[in-house]
Amino acid sequence: MTEVWASLIIRNINDMISSSSEVVAPNGNWQSRRLITASDHMGFSLHDTIIKSGTETKLWYKNHLEAVYCISGDGSIEDLATGISHQIEPGVMYALDQNDKHILRGGSKDMRLVCVFYPALRGDEIHDKNGSYPSSNS
Ligand code: 9YT
């Protein structure tokens, strides 16, 4: 008898660019390729995000936790609770473990970030006026 195994998920970013898996901010500040989303039932979503050079985005993920790892480019994050800015460059990770309000700034070059959101995004979300995404229950 042949055993049937459920297949793992494998995706290539090159197939996502300019597809429904790519979301571009209306103000052009960022673009996000959503590699894993809620429909994959993994509990988190995984995004490959480009923050455009010289942009400034105020964010407050009040319904999500987020971890972000920089793999190229540069920028900074300002923690609005303290007013302290932290430089972001390849190898730097930040985690918004307190749903922290922040400002994300693109630096001299476009910044490429690997982002994990918990709970998972559906995949088509853009920020609301507070810089939030809706909760998964809404
Ligand atoms: C790092 C960050 O929050 N960028 C804005 C876009 C967001 N990460 C997303 O939806 O991928």
Q: Is residue 17 part of a domain?
A: no
Q: What is the DSSP letter of 38?
A: G
8 Å CB contact between 133 and 64: yes
Ligand 1: nearest atom to the Cα of 115:
8
Percent of the chain with pLDDT over 90: 80
* Residue 68 Cβ < 6 Å to ligand 1: yes
- Domain with 94 in it: 22-118
Residue 134 lies in a domain: no
* CB 49 less than 6 A from any atom of ligand 1: yes
| Residue 133 belongs to some domain of the structure | no
Query: Which pair of structure tokens corresponds to residue 100?
Result: 């922290």
Ligand 1 closest atom vs CA 32:
11
Q: Nearest C-alpha to atom 5 of ligand 1 is from which residue?
A: 30
Token match 């302290």: residue? 84
Which pLDDT belongs to residue 47?
A: 97
Contact 49, 16 (CB under 8 A): no
**What length is written for the chain?**
138
**Separation CA 32–CA 137 (nearest Å):** 22
pLDDT at 5 over 80: no
User: CATH no. for residue 85?
Assistant: 2.60.120.10
